[in-house]
Chains A and B, each alone.
Chain A
Amino acid sequence: MSTVSLERNLVISTEKLQETANEIRKLALRAITKANSGHPGGSLSLTDILTVLYFNLLKHDPKNPNWEERDRVIISKGHASPGIYAALSLAGYFEPEEFVNTFRQVRSKFQGHIDRLKVPGVEVSTGSLGHGLSIANGVALGLRLESKKNKVYALLSDGELQEGQIWEAVMASAHYKLGNLTAIVDRNRIQLDGWTEETMALNPLADKFKAFGWEVKEIDGHNFSEIIDSIQSGSQRDLTDKPLLILANTIKGKGVSFMEDKVAWHGVAPKPEELEAALAELTTN
């Protein structure tokens, strides 16, 4: 059994992380199926990164969501709400079944896109793509003004990098030398209409961020040791170092064979029998 030792003296096996990630995927897919609406593809590609953050590296306290000393996770791809709610619920912010049963229903806390005023653990409401990095910059600036050492993580999707605002923010993070900021791009190569490179080419992404003054690490976004190592390298930085970009190569729909790399699974709910098949795959994995 391979293990990774962590900054917070936690030793969590990759098997345990994988098990948690599968539970997150299952909850997310159950909720989407029940609501008959939601975004499976981008939830599943982001899951392993969420797992490492919320179950491993993040300084946070699910019983005290507004704890001053917590690290901040600013999730720009607010449509990945099923994956995010699933991770937060398993981390202990609220009951998993409450989310699964009410997701996307009227008067529910669990909105289609994450809402900070409704769900504990959600730092900022997003949904309109392209806002998150700017917001994360503001949080990083605000914490640094107080000489706080807390880390700020911005989770971005790849299609949203087509937004002009993202590049305004990319410029600003480097200009203000936000060493307390780590941006992670869920590079699943698919957006709503198709492959990113066919819709509006993004490559060479690493070069673009480097040219804008960022440090870039490219990883396999489904390899727990690589996720952990890259995030930890980001934690050992000075408050005025270059911002760090983790370009996480992922697979949209990861973990469910018939969803993987399929554009169609961006924003479509599984049918009950598809859910059964998906849950079975995620259980035997």
Chain B
Amino acid sequence: MSEKKATRVAYGEALVELGSKNSDIVVLDADLSGSTNTKKFAQKFPERFFNMGIAEQNMVSTAAGLALTGKIPFASSFAMFATGRAWEQVRNSVAHNDLNVKIAATHAGITLGEDGASHQIIEDIAIMNVIPKMSVLVPADAVEAKAMTKALVEYQGPAYIRLGRPNVPIIFDENDFEYELGKARLVKEGQDITIIAYGVMLSKAIEAAEKLETEGVKAEVINVSTIKPLDESTILQSAKKTGSIVVAEEHNRVGGVNCLIASCISNNLNSFCPMEVVAIEDRFGQSGKVDDLLEEYGLTSENIVEKAKKCIKRKVS
């Protein structure tokens, strides 16, 4: 995990690659193409790129119109605006119409960094998840971001892909990686506890598992990169094996994936399975360097280790 790359960069590169193979792909942006990385596509395929100006609501509904003619639109902006400002357009123009629009939004979460709270959406997963017909995807690294972009071209239907600003460790081997929408991936096997993570928290989860290993605790790590539809069977299988779960996410705890996993566990397991959560504790973000922010909000591998130990103690043996 020494090499690093931002998921938004991988998305931009993937768009260019996919765009040359599939002429139905069109891209919309709202005056952030340099930041979202759709600029590469814009330069290569100017006739298939639409800069909509700083008008995200119009951008999303326009994407719906393009989808009505059989195009495969990717609409990009910062996640704050693509999902927040334009939520009702995503809900009504796109999802209620069951249209093949991909909301591909970058700079999600507190790891956006220095711009601070007004731009750091920590609610996007919650507000996209609650829309019927919407799929929700979060890549953990550049390799997965590229694979997901490709999968989204093939997938028919409304989808949200959450991308990040900072360079993040490359976890997966490009030559040996496949992404299947709706499938969670077992990243590391273990028997003592299950750590479920996605996005930037996956590399933290892997680090945590390595630290736990030195103390003789064998943690299983699952990358739940498709948040909707959630791969309940992989989660349940692991929970049955380890009997305890830590969920780690760069999102508000309220409305986060931890809620879905808790309900999945309590609805399906007969045995007690304690759960601990590493997430943002219902407060807004702030300006800062990425690593400082992760520490400030309790989103480090140490936080995961600590919660894992606590959770194991709660198991009734």
Contacts and interface: CB of A to CB of B under 8 A. Distances in A.
Interface of A: 72, 74, 116-117, 123-128, 131, 134-143, 145-146, 164-165, 168-169, 171-172, 175-176
Interface string B50-69: 10110101101111111111
Interface string B22-58: 0000100000000000000000000110101101011
Nearest to B60: A134
Contacts of A136: 65
Nearest to A170: B58
A137 B71 contact: no
A131 B61 contact: yes
A126 B97 CA distance: 9
A16 to B, nearest CB: 32
Contacts of A123: 68
A123 B99 CA distance: 12
Contact of A165 (B69, B89, B97, B98): B89
13 contacts: A124-B68, A125-B92, A131-B89, A134-B89, A135-B65, A137-B62, A141-B62, A142-B71, A145-B71, A146-B69, A171-B55, A172-B53, A172-B62
A116 B97 contact: yes
Given A124-B64, A169-B61, A131 B92 contact: yes
Contacts, number: 99
Interface string B81-98: 000000011001100111
Given A134-B57, A145-B48, A139 B89 contact: no
Given A134-B62, A142-B68, A146-B69, 19 more contacts: A116-B97, A117-B97, A125-B96, A125-B97, A135-B62, A137-B62, A138-B61, A138-B63, A138-B65, A141-B62, A141-B65, A141-B66, A142-B65, A145-B26, A145-B71, A164-B57, A165-B58, A168-B53, A169-B61
Nearest to A154: B65
Interface string B76-117: 000000000000110011001110000000000000000000
A129 B152 CA distance: 29
A131 B58 CA distance: 8
A140 B55 contact: no
Contact of A168 (B48, B57, B70, B73): B57
A134 B94 CA distance: 12
A140 B65 contact: yes
Given A117-B97, A145-B47, A145-B71, A165 B63 contact: no
A165 B68 contact: no
Contact of B68 (A139, A145, A164): A139
Contacts of A175: 53
Most chain A CB inside 10 Å of its own CB: which residue of B67, B73, B93:
B93
B81 to A, nearest CB: 13
B229 to A, nearest CB: 20
Contacts of B48: 145
Contacts of B66: 138-139, 141-142
Interface in B228-243: none
A124 B58 CA distance: 16
Contact of A138 (B57, B68, B98): B68
B103 to A, nearest CB: 14
Most chain B CB inside 10 Å of its own CB: which residue of A72, A137, A142:
A142
Contacts of A164: 57
Contacts of B63: 138
Contacts of B57: 134, 164-165, 168
Contacts of B60: 134
A74 B69 CA distance: 12
A134 B61 contact: yes
Nearest to A146: B69
Most chain A CB inside 10 Å of its own CB: which residue of B50, B52, B62, B89:
B62
B58 A134 contact: yes
Contacts of B89: 131, 134, 165
A34 B248 CA distance: 54
Contacts of A141: 26, 50, 62, 65-66
A145 B98 CA distance: 22
A140 B47 CA distance: 14
A171 B65 CA distance: 16
Most chain B CB inside 10 Å of its own CB: which residue of A123, A126, A143, A145:
A145
- The 7 A-B pairs with the shortest beta carbon distances in the complex, nearest first, are A138-B65, A142-B69, A134-B61, A168-B58, A168-B55, A138-B62, A135-B65
Contacts of B93: 124, 131, 134-135
Contacts of B73: 138
A11 to B, nearest CB: 32
Given A165-B89, A171-B53, A137 B97 contact: no
B113 to A, nearest CB: 29
B158 to A, nearest CB: 13
B147 to A, nearest CB: 27
Contacts of A128: 88, 92
A171 B51 CA distance: 12
Given A146-B69, A171-B53, A135 B64 contact: yes
A165 B85 CA distance: 11
B29 to A, nearest CB: 13
Nearest to A152: B65
Nearest to A148: B69
Contact of B64 (A138, A143, A146, A172): A138
Most chain A CB inside 10 Å of its own CB: which residue of B58, B92, B96:
B58
